[in-house]
Amino acid sequence: MTQPTLPPEILEKRAAEQRHALHNDVQQLRTVVEAEVRKKVDEVRDRLDVKRNVSRHFGPVAAATGLIALSLGYSFAGIFTER
């Protein structure tokens, strides 16, 4: 079965409406994706914030730093002393 051909004006109007609807859908999708990406980036920045992590875990960080400094100091002093 063949459909009767529609006048070009009606086809142009439908095409314009479809383009407009498609444009609106793309804009909405872009807005949603940008918001989600911004949210994830903010979460990662918060999780990787050095100042916040050090202040939360000050004891273990201080202990690890002290042990590293002590072992490096002991090794460095060992270079210059006779055994």
pLDDT > 70: what percent of the chain? 93
What pLDDT, on the 0 to 100 scale, is given for residue 12? Answer: 93
Average pLDDT over residues 67-79: 91
Whose tokens are 């210059």? That residue is 80
Query: CA 46, CA 52: separation in Å to the nearest integer?
Result: 8
- Residue 54 near residue 61 (C-beta atoms within 8 A): yes
Q: Where are the domains of the chain?
A: 7-48, 55-83
- Residue 46 near residue 52 (C-beta atoms within 8 A): yes
Of residues 6 and 15, more confidence is placed in: 15
b/e per residue 1-30 (b: at least 16 CB within 10 A): eeeeeeeeeeeeeeeeeeeeeeeeeeeeee
